[in-house]
């Protein structure tokens, strides 16, 4: 339920000369009525609409019927047990409704698309009351044939005043959770675990005024990623546990991203700690803060790449990146000479401006030096140049470990890949998502 603690939360102002980074949620987030109020109005148990917890009977039709009965207010209840899902559902135009998934839904259908879509709805909650609810996509069954054409697990579309929490999303054939043009949302206490392959995003966010916190992702693509258009996002206490890592992008034409904060992000054995990626394109990413990052053995650390070779070049001379800060980064990278822990590879046509790097202390696991690479990037700190224009390229070699680089590790760090063609077990939701912190909201029990 929405609370006063989320009203106009200011997350920090960092001076950048005449400019400043100001990032905040623009209002309250989450459902506008409580779970108990929804439950007291009506409960629509899927078992009363034909569902069976036998891991054989398709739960899709029962979900659709239960939603129709409770869409104007109430709780769609999936009790503890194992449910098969062979047909996908689109849940439209709900208001004051919750989906309480205390059981496990196993994919048995083979269609693409999305197993569960919630769209054009408001005051919606998708949650587990016991922390054991899950969607198991069995993506390995599709992936072992070499295909990535299967379904996503959960998609929210044009939905406002919502929450998704205390659930596990496992082994999606494609993406796991996607927020598409949503507003005033809160996403928290999630465990997402996918295959060790690209194209299996954890959590993608497109929207306005959304708080994402206490999420663990294991996969080999996006951990928690912001895509355009988005504004007023707070993303904190994120655990990228053998993942592709967090990112903004890929960015194309007419990009519009602003007022975003990533705080307390822990990344281990990932492709990157944070990447802003584009190739051509247009529009702006501005007023963004990346604070309190801890990394261990990641390929890249701070990585801005405006000629990213993994995407086709988009129309335009480049996306304007401005007023972006990186502060309080600690830990180690895999090989700081081969892939330097600071890389600003900005467009010569549209240079990065107002970049700031401060309190950055990272060292290498291989070798005894690291490179800071700056191209067409302006601001202060690291190898950045003062000013705002003109093409340049420079590499700064660091040959001794910076003070304070050593950082704590998590006892639940994944030490081996879950692969791509074998069954992935459903994980427990961890008790902490960043060293020394507790979840901002207590885990469901």
| Residues taking part in catalysis | 221, 296
Q: How far apart are CA 168 and CA 189, in angstroms?
A: 9
Q: How far is residue 277's CA from residue 288's CA, in Å, rounded to a whole number?
A: 14
User: Collapsing DSSP states into helix, strand and coil, what is residue 335?
Assistant: coil
Length of the chain: 445
Q: How far apart are CA 287 and CA 107, in angstroms?
A: 40
Distance of CA 246 to the CA centre of its chain: 7
Outline where DSSP puts E strands in 334-440: 342-345, 352-364, 370-375, 377-380, 393-398
Q: Are strands 370-375 and 393-398 parallel, antiparallel or unpaired?
A: antiparallel
Neighbours of 33 (CB within 10 A): 18
Residue 191 sits at the vertex; the CA angle it makes with 185 and 195, to the nearest 5 degrees, is 115
How is 379-392 classified by DSSP, letter by letter?
EESTTPBSSS-S--
Rounded to whole angstroms, the Cα distance separating 258 from 262 reads 12
């Amino acid at each position: 339920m929405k609370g006063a603690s989320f009203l106009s939360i200011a997350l920090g102002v960092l001076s950048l000369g005449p400019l400043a980074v100001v990032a905040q949620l623009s209002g309250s987030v989450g459902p506008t009525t409580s779970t108990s109020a929804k439950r007291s109005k009506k409960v629509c148990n899927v078992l009363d609409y034909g569902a069976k917890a036998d891991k054989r009977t398709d739960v899709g039709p029962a979900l659709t019927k239960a939603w129709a009965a409770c869409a104007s207010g109430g709780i769609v209840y999936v009790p503890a047990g194992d449910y098969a899902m062979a047909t996908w559902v689109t849940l439209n135009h709900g208001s004051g409704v919750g989906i309480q998934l205390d059981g496990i839904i196993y994919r048995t259908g083979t269609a693409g698309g999305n197993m569960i879509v919630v769209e054009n709805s408001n005051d919606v909650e998708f949650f587990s009351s016991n922390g054991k609810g899950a969607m198991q996509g069995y993506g390995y069954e599709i992936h072992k044939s070499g295909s990535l054409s299967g379904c996503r697990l959960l998609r929210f579309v044009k939905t406002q005043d919502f929450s998704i929490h205390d659930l596990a999303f496992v082994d999606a054939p494609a993406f796991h959770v996607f927020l598409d043009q949503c507003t005033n949302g809160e996403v928290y206490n999630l465990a997402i675990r996918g295959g060790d392959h690209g194209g299996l995003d954890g959590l993608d966010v497109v929207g306005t005024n959304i708080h994402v916190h206490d999420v663990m992702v294991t996969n080999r693509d996006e951990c928690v990623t912001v895509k355009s258009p988005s504004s007023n996002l707070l993303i904190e206490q994120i655990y990228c546990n053998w993942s592709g890592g967090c990112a903004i992008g890929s960015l194309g034409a007419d990009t519009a991203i602003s007022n975003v904060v990533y705080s307390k992000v822990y990344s281990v054995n990932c492709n990157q700690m944070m990447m802003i990626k584009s190739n051509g394109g247009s529009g702006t990413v501005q007023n963004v803060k990346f604070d309190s990052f801890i990394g261990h053995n990641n390929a890249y650390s701070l990585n801005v790449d405006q000629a990213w070779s993994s995407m086709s070049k988009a129309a335009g001379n480049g996306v304007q990146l401005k007023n972006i800060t990186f502060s309080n980064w600690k830990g180690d990278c895999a090989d700081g000479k081969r892939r330097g822990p600071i890389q600003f590879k900005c467009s010569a046509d549209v240079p990065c401006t107002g970049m700031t790097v401060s309190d950055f202390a990272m060292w290498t696991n291989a070798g005894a030096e690291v490179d800071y690479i700056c191209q067409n990037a302006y601001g202060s700190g690291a190898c950045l140049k003062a000013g705002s224009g003109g093409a340049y390229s420079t590499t700064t070699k660091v040959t001794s470990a910076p003070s304070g680089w050593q950082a704590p590790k998590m006892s639940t760090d994944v030490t081996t890949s879950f692969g791509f063609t074998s069954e992935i077990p459903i994980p427990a939701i961890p008790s902490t998502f960043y060293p020394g912190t507790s979840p901002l909201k207590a885990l469901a029990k």
